[in-house]
Amino acid sequence: QVQLVESGGGLVQAGGSLRLSCVASGNFFITHDISWHRQAPGKERDLVAGISSRGLTSYHDTVKGRFTISRDSAKNAVFLLMNSLKLEDTAVYYCRLRTESGTYWGQGTQVTVSS
């Protein structure tokens, strides 16, 4: 079984910053990629940022230049540094891991940006 635990969400004023963390544990050997997704009320879950097994990163257009994804492979952890937060960044943020055994999701962490 694979588990993902996210942390770091919270309430922040517009223009502020947050750093999300996701730690994976369990039985897996190969990480294909790990990514952050978000879902706002009434909207679909969207990819925010991802990092491949080779360290290649990708970002949704709306967060480019503001968010940075990074990982610590030794700790099976991935991070999302979010700067210059906007009201529209408010959502539940989920970590997703794809391994040789399947795709796994964390429970989500709420990010609320206030004016």
- The pLDDT of residue 26 is 85
Q: What's the mean pLDDT in 51-74?
A: 94
- The pLDDT of residue 30 is 74
97, pLDDT greater than 80: yes
32, pLDDT greater than 90: no
∠ CA(91), CA(96), CA(100), 5° rounding? Answer: 170
Query: Which residue would you say has higher pLDDT here, 28 or 6?
Result: 6
pLDDT band for position 106 (cuts 50, 70, 90) = very high
Closest CA to 97 of 45, 53, 44, 41: 53
Closest CA to 107 of 2, 5, 12: 5
45, pLDDT greater than 80: yes
- The pLDDT of residue 79 is 97
- The pLDDT of residue 56 is 95
